[in-house]
Amino acid sequence: AGPFGSGNPAPVFAFPSHRIAYASVVGSGHVRVTLKSGDQSSLAGIAFGAAESPLGKALLQSDRRPIHVAGTLSRNVWQGRESVQIRIRDAATT
């Protein structure tokens, strides 16, 4: 599934029927979330610059209802820790 770059975009993955366990605005209007699946596994996510957009509002106001999320997966390094996160491009409530 790589390499990615000019003429070869990163694949977009869909995560159906997840719940948002945590959502907040961070930085300059980004929305950070923690998604939970039915088996309680979790995935960190971020929607860059989305806080005031319909996408950001949907993420922030999900009220733990099931939501479908689509985006690209990326490596996140923060304070010396490495993890996988989804860069959220779109979402829809069920």
**20 burial type by CB count under 10 A (0-12 exposed, 13-18 middle, 19+ buried):** buried
Predicted pLDDT at 3 = 74
* 38: pLDDT strictly greater than 70: yes
Percent of the chain beyond pLDDT 70? 98
Other beta carbons within 10 angstroms of residue 35's beta carbon come to: 24
The reported pLDDT for the residue numbered 93 is 85
Average pLDDT score, the chain: 92
- d(CA 43, CA 89) in angstroms, rounded, equals 15
Convert the pLDDT of each residue in 1-27 to its tens digit: 667 777 888 899 999 999 999 999 999
pLDDT of residue 63: 82
